[in-house]
Each structure stands twice: as C-alpha cells, then as structure tokens.
Structure 1
Amino acid sequence: MSGIQRIALLLTIIGAINWGLIGFFQFDLVAAIFGGQESALSRIIYGLVGIAGLLNLGLLFKPSREVEREPESQPSR
C-alpha cells in the first residue's frame, strides 16, 4: 500500500468516526474542532475526506496478494 493510500485510508477512518459521532450523538467533531460546518477549514477537511473515500474505492477492486499467489504443491505420499 502506497503512502497516498495510507493517508487516504486514515482520512476515511477519520470521516467514518465523525459520521458515527454525528449518527449516535449528533456531534460533529470536525466542525467542533475547526469552527463550525461553514468555516473554510472544516469544508477543506470534508473535501479531503471525500476525495480520500474516492481514492479508497480502488482498494475494492485491487486483488489481494493471497488470491494472486498460486498454492504451493503438496508432496505426494
């Protein structure tokens, strides 16, 4: 996983935590930290989280290494 993908995954996790807080407690952590939903900094964070989510869509279609690896041959008895 590249550095960009790791950062995107981190931002996606932050977004998921924020949405969980909104859903369960009606508390927007990003807005609370960065000055409300309408502040420029909050909107930048929301935008970055959205872009990170789009970048992570590629992970859904990327084959895992376990699938690509051929099974090792078993010794015959």
Structure 2
Amino acid sequence: MKWSDNTTLTIVIIGAINWLLVGIFRFDLVAFLFGNLSWLSRIIYTLVGLCGLYLISMYGRIRSSAE
C-alpha cells in the first residue's frame, strides 16, 4: 500500500474509534480534546470524512488487483 493509503486508513480508524466512543459512552473524544465544534475539531471531522471518501477508491483497486 502507498503511504497515503496507510495515512488515510489510520485517520479513518481513529474516526471510527471516536464514533464507537460516542455510540457506547456518549463521549466525543475530538470535542473533549479540541472543543465542541471549534474550528480545530471541525477540521478534524472534515479530514476524517475526506479520508473516508478517498478510501472508497480502494474498492476499485482491490477488485483490479484480484483479477
């Protein structure tokens, strides 16, 4: 995998862990660390979302490498 794939995958995993904490404990780690919808937390949420969108392209790459 490329460096960008590893980086985006790591960011998405961190975002997924944050959502797990929100779902189970109602604890938003990003909001706790950076403030509730501060500009920094909004950048982090946006970055996680963009990384998730980028990782959609992995479906095509996985399919093409399996053939």
In the alignment, what sits opposite 1:73? none
1:27 partner SS: coil
Aligned partners of 1:27 and 1:4: how far apart in 2?
Answer: 29
In the alignment, what sits opposite 1:61? 60
1:26 alignment partner AA:
R
2:26 alignment partner AA:
Q
In the alignment, what sits opposite 1:44? 43
The two structures, once aligned, show a CA RMSD in angstroms of: 1.3
Task: Encode CA deviations 1:19-66: one digit per residue, 9 max, x unaligned.
Answer: 000000100001101112x2000000000000000011011221365x
Give the number of the structure whose alpha-carbon radius of gyration is greater.
1
% identical aligned pairs = 48
2:62 partner SS: coil
Return the structure number with greater helix share: 2
Query: TM-score under structure 1 normalisation?
Result: 0.78
1:10 alignment partner AA:
T
In the alignment of these two chains, the number of paired residues is 66
Alignment of 1:1-77 (within 5 A): 1-36=1-36, 38-63=37-62, 65=65, 67-68=66-67
List alignment gaps of at least 5 residues for structure 2. Answer: none
